[in-house]
Structure 1
Amino acid sequence: MKIRKHYLALRRCFPQLTEDVPLETTLDELSQLLDCTHRNMVLLLKRMQQEGWLSWVPKKGRGNRSTLLFTARQEHILMLEAQEMVHKQNLRSALELLQTYEASLTLREQFQDWLSGQFGFRSEVQGQRRTDILRFPLAQSIHSLDPASMHYSGESHLVNQLFDGLVRMDARGQLILPHLALGWDTDDSRTLWTFYLRKGVQFHHGREMLSSDVKFSLERLQKLAPRGLFSWAYTNIAAMETPDDTTIRIRLRERNELFLGFLTTSRASIVPQDICEAAEGGLMGVSPVGTGPFRLIGHEHGIWQLDAFPSYFQGRGFLDRVEVWTVPDGERREEQELAIGPGSKPLQEMHHVRVSDMTVQQWKQARQSGMTAKFITVNEHKAGLFTQAPMRHALQLALDRRPLSSLLPADCLDAGNSFLQQKSSHDMLSWSFDTVVDHLRAAGYQGELFTLATIPQYESDAILIQQLCTQAGIQLDIELLSAEDFKGEARLKADLLLFAVVLDEHRELRLVDLYKSMQEHAIPQVREQLETALQRLVTEPDPAQRLELLASIEDGLLQRHSLLFLYKKHLKTAFHPSIRGISLDSLGWVRFRDIWFT
């Protein structure tokens, strides 16, 4: 309520004054502090006194000062106001309030414990109708739910709830199964792919999905995201034709054994041609229309509401609604974790969370096959000292894993030395200051300032790297770029680039995408070597042979210190035993349609 905000504003004017310590003041002074009239100040003080938050003893006469005594702690009122904002489904304003008033760590932890009790599964009964709702927090902001313009894992997860692709990956990430397409054929050259679509699949706005929508979706990707994730897969499409409403033929310029896998990704989701052509200003990003099991109803104050789509072609799920409560940019860290505190109400399902020791026995841990890997690549395309092997070797020594691991959260893995399952032979070794000095001297380093570019979500990792480099005598500046700018030419001005890659069921696709990107940072010789190896990889039908090729590419980059690993981190999902029918992909994301509760 507004009176709380007035009290907080007044209390903030006297930060050094503790409760139950009287203050001599006047109405005129207080009116000036709150920028209100003398009359309004009298009314505010009267109301605050009725609430029991303060004591006001007025004194009349010139020169007489009244007595103000605060009795309510600011943090108590702050908590009440933040809780009311959450009840009004305005988590963003609640977090901003706590930040504005610089809430203590204790209060933030108390608010977090209380907040965890607001999430999970609940039923609401209105008349004869029962509505089953799952509410969960997502420690990211949602910038776009357009398959062509999304950037982050949380966005991709929601896109998977709203859209479908022609094919899908099984939960183990091993088999490609029919989805919007009932089946497919390919010719002997593996460049002509024919997909046969299901009949009667409905978009959220009621129109049947046709082969023309599939053609439009892939052409739209080529137009809107020519440098986007997996662009090398869809820009390889030479032509498409739709002989009828349920058949589409896709001809590739070159054979690509990973093309079918690409079609299982959220990037290859099918969008309705009529809605996209009618929409202006990127409307699909905030008002997406797909064929998925849920449809977006609205999003206010950072809360995205997804309702079950009754006409879903695989059948309606148990849940009627999912509310995704996102965290504003200022409050978000990359893979931010929300703790489940002691004594808090069980949260049925949370993503990427750390469960406290006192509550861990009440929870089940999801499969942990997915993980993120953090690493640095050297921009050898830019003229400078990093084109010399001794300088790159000095950086590798500076990033020795032992001191780095002591600075990382406990759930980060030390063995972040390979993208592949097997352990790389190129472990980072402990270094002495003299060893680093020798390499720096051999490279001709004289204290020049280098630039490390990354996106804002990885700023904390960049700061750790900067600290380690400073200890080794290497001067490093940090430049934060937006995700869109980081994909473009802007990053090529930096000396070093801090990346992350998700190692999930699409690992091959993601690593090819990474190495395609690294070609832009490489010297001509390395660029040609990468191109030859990647060409062999995407045309190789045997998965085991492709794995060997990936290992060979990685080893070559490690040997010349162009690729420097930092650490890996498991992606986890904690969920309460009351969930039934839970289905998890390798990232630990729950498929909302497949879950129900007891």
Structure 2
Amino acid sequence: MIMAERYLTLYERFGGDSSGGMPVEATLEGLSEALFCTTRNAKLILRKLEEEELIDWLPGLGRGNRSRIAFKADKERFLLQLAQSRAEKGDYKQAFELLQSFGEGTQAKPKFLEWLNGQFGYHKEEASDGISTSDTLRFPVYRPVTTLDPAQVNYSIDAHLMRQLFSRLLQFDEGISKIAPSIAHYWTSNPEATEWTFYLRKGVRFHNGHELTSRDVVFSLERLRGDTQNRWLLRGVQQIEMLGPRVLRVHLKQPNRIFDRYMCSNAASILPANLGGMEEEEFWQLPIGTGPFRMVSQSSHCIELAAYTAYHEGRPYLDGVDVVVMPEECRDSAVEMPEMLHKGYSGNPLLEKHMENWQLLKKLCRGCTLLTWNLRRPGIQQSEAFRRAVRMILNTSDLVLELGGDRAMPAFGFRPEGSQSRSADPLLPERVKTALRESHYDGSVIRFTAHENFEEDARWIVERLGQWGIHIDLKIVSWAEASVCSTPLHDEDLKIHSFILPEDEVCEIEAYEHGDSVFKSYLDDELLNWINGRIDEALSADTEVVRRQHLKVIEEHLRDEASVVFLHHRELRTYLHPTIRGVSLNALGWIDFKDIWLEKLD
């Protein structure tokens, strides 16, 4: 491929409007300058390009005769084929870099995007026997998978893939808001909710064929209790006891009346005991679970899944799923599965016109986007009066109205149902001025961090605060930077972030207790200890109503002291081709692969 890029480099410098292989003048010195090499190496490169029949080199012989070069391959066609070749090998980043570097003045990039869109979606392929077919869903994501280890899970894309690979003791049925059996077919607790007993199904098998037993469950839960980001899930566990090959009991130090809900969490996914005899690094290259799909291959640019035919809840309809990791900078260029599925808010009238006959799934995201102050770091954010002033200035109704997009409604708490009946208070300048005077704000700079996904919100916030003389140093970070937990050692005073509550109370508790959460990193120890006390009270509550009241106290405390500023709730959208069936958005905002099937393929 190096020669191909050198060909394009020379064409870019000397080809101009040349077409049909017509020779153009070029000096050996000019060629070596374009290639950043010596004239001797330039001659070697020219010879190699001639051998590959890409150019004709016509050296000028005799005094006054200048050398000429003829480019035999059409630039646009050659660049398009080169980008396609890179993409087929999974190097999408390099493909887009080539188009960016050499595509000016050509139609290579739009043609590449048209070709690329055809690579994604639902594909039906004929098997080698000429009779059976294979149904595969291939789709892009625009952020890398951080981990497939349930004990460390934090991000929704990772959690969604884990749902395909692993099963849990129990599962939460979002449709009816009930806990349902999974690996465990039955479970019970003592009246105090300090002992929970689980009875396992027979015949649940890992992807390597081994039958799951209580030994695997005990191993997985004990591993989770170790030094992991999700050990909070088992914070109250005293002992995990194996009563038999298919029965185990968990003893708690204090009551937890939703411990069965805890066991629905992705973090509580069941792994084979001792990782099937493998070391950690080897196991996570091709992890083994009991989920509806097994992993076939994994690289930095693609994860290939195949249907697990022995899945205990029934074989998936799809035969395979390919998850292609696209460079984040390609997000604005590429369309997500336009022939079968488009996920998210398009903002493209032509695309929405094209999809006007498609199924449109809309769902309010259970969660919110918010600002959180770093209370572990000295600075003006330690002043409650200053934090209240910022909250008053940032009228979230204006934010939603002015920025639009997938911002569905202003947020006044974690959940959209709690925000629907509320409206933003009108801005009262005198109250803002009073709060700023009380805070003794001296014009010091607030260090504000935002991921690229939140850049539009962040710039709106900076502009609004600037109108009141509040100085902001905004830092936009990439996904790789944002995925690293912000600790008190980081120079951040304020952060914009979002989280999803796919399993309601459990995920709200996770937002406070997860080892890598913004709250855990930004809120001071005194406040975190107070929060843990309220959580313990919630877990021991006899009814859901009382439990919600305890958790609501935490949310209201954070809002009243302006430790957080709630911004907005998002709307999740997915457009589906009319022939796709079995699709609904789960609480993570993803589609469950195991339920997808195609009525017909035109």
Alignment TM class, shorter chain as reference: 0.7 to 0.9
Q: State how 1:192-591 maps to structure 2 within 5 Å.
A: 192-225=195-228, 227-228=229-230, 231-275=231-275, 278-281=278-281, 283-300=282-299, 302-328=301-327, 330-331=328-329, 338-339=334-335, 346-352=338-344, 354=346, 356-401=351-396, 404-405=399-400, 408=403, 410-420=405-415, 421-423=417-419, 427-429=423-425, 431=427, 436=432, 438-453=434-449, 458=454, 461-478=457-474, 482=481, 485-486=484-485, 488-490=487-489, 494-504=492-502, 506-516=503-513, 518=519, 521-522=522-523, 526-527=527-528, 529-582=530-583, 584-591=585-592
Structure 1 48/478 Cα, relative in aligned 2: closer, same or farther at 3 Å? Answer: farther
Deviations 1:483-507 (Å, cap 9, x if unpaired)?
A: 664265545x632233311133x12
Deviations 1:66-92 (Å, cap 9, x if unpaired)?
A: 455779885654333222323344434
Query: What does residue 125 of structure 1 align with?
Result: 126
> Is 1:41–2:43 an aligned residue pair?
no
Structure 1 381/332 Cα, relative in aligned 2: closer, same or farther at 3 Å? Answer: farther
Find the partner of 1:146 among 126, 149, 163.
149
In 2, Cα distance between equivalents of 1:168 and 1:147: 15
In 1, Cα distance between equivalents of 2:77 and 2:368: 41
Query: What does residue 8 of structure 1 align with?
Result: 8
| Count of residue correspondences | 580
TM-score after normalising by structure 1: 0.85
Structure 1 405/77 Cα, relative in aligned 2: closer, same or farther at 3 Å? Answer: farther
Q: Which amino acid aligns with 1:251?
A: H
In 2, Cα distance between equivalents of 1:70 and 1:451: 53
Find the partner of 1:174 among 168, 173, 177.
177
Structure 1 170/524 Cα, relative in aligned 2: closer, same or farther at 3 Å? Answer: closer
In 2, Cα distance between equivalents of 1:337 and 1:258: 45
In 2, Cα distance between equivalents of 1:267 and 1:242: 20
Secondary structure of the residue that 1:570 maps to in structure 2?
strand
Q: Which amino acid aligns with 1:502?
A: I
Structure 1 213/438 Cα, relative in aligned 2: closer, same or farther at 3 Å? Answer: same
Structure 1 224/76 Cα, relative in aligned 2: closer, same or farther at 3 Å? Answer: farther
Provide the aligned C-alpha RMSD in A. 3.5
Is the Cα contact below 8 Å between 1:582 and 1:591 reproduced in 2?
A: yes
TM-score after normalising by structure 2: 0.85
TM-superposed CA distance for 1:199, in Å, is: 1.3
Is the Cα contact below 8 Å between 1:571 and 1:587 reproduced in 2?
A: no
TM-superposed CA distance for 1:429, in Å, is: 4.5
TM-superposed CA distance for 1:298, in Å, is: 0.7
Structure 1 149/414 Cα, relative in aligned 2: closer, same or farther at 3 Å? Answer: same
TM-superposed CA distance for 1:247, in Å, is: 0.5
Is the Cα contact below 8 Å between 1:143 and 1:285 reproduced in 2?
A: no
Q: Which amino acid aligns with 1:240?
A: I
Structure 1 220/49 Cα, relative in aligned 2: closer, same or farther at 3 Å? Answer: closer
Identical-pair percentage: 30
In 1, Cα distance between equivalents of 2:521 and 2:145: 29
In 2, Cα distance between equivalents of 1:307 and 1:540: 43
In 2, Cα distance between equivalents of 1:395 and 1:22: 66
Is the Cα contact below 8 Å between 1:373 and 1:566 reproduced in 2?
A: yes
Q: Which amino acid aligns with 1:7?
A: Y
Structure 1 522/324 Cα, relative in aligned 2: closer, same or farther at 3 Å? Answer: closer
Structure 1 304/188 Cα, relative in aligned 2: closer, same or farther at 3 Å? Answer: same
In 2, Cα distance between equivalents of 1:418 and 1:109: 43
Is the Cα contact below 8 Å between 2:393 and 2:427 reproduced in 1?
A: yes
Query: What does residue 27 of structure 1 align with?
Result: 28
Structure 1 gap segments, 5+ residues each: none
In 2, Cα distance between equivalents of 1:187 and 1:105: 72
In 2, Cα distance between equivalents of 1:253 and 1:100: 62
TM-superposed CA distance for 1:449, in Å, is: 1.9
Query: What does residue 114 of structure 1 align with?
Result: 115
Is the Cα contact below 8 Å between 1:572 and 1:587 reproduced in 2?
A: no
Secondary structure of the residue that 1:540 maps to in structure 2?
coil
Q: Which amino acid aligns with 2:301?
A: G
Q: Which amino acid aligns with 1:559?
A: D
Structure 1 439/278 Cα, relative in aligned 2: closer, same or farther at 3 Å? Answer: same
Structure 1 114/409 Cα, relative in aligned 2: closer, same or farther at 3 Å? Answer: farther
Is the Cα contact below 8 Å between 1:148 and 1:224 reproduced in 2?
A: no
Structure 2 gap segments, 5+ residues each: none
In 2, Cα distance between equivalents of 1:115 and 1:558: 45
Q: Which moved more, 1:389-398 or 1:473-482?
A: 473-482
Is the Cα contact below 8 Å between 1:365 and 1:573 reproduced in 2?
A: yes
In 2, Cα distance between equivalents of 1:507 and 1:134: 30
TM-superposed CA distance for 1:254, in Å, is: 1.7
In 2, Cα distance between equivalents of 1:147 and 1:100: 40
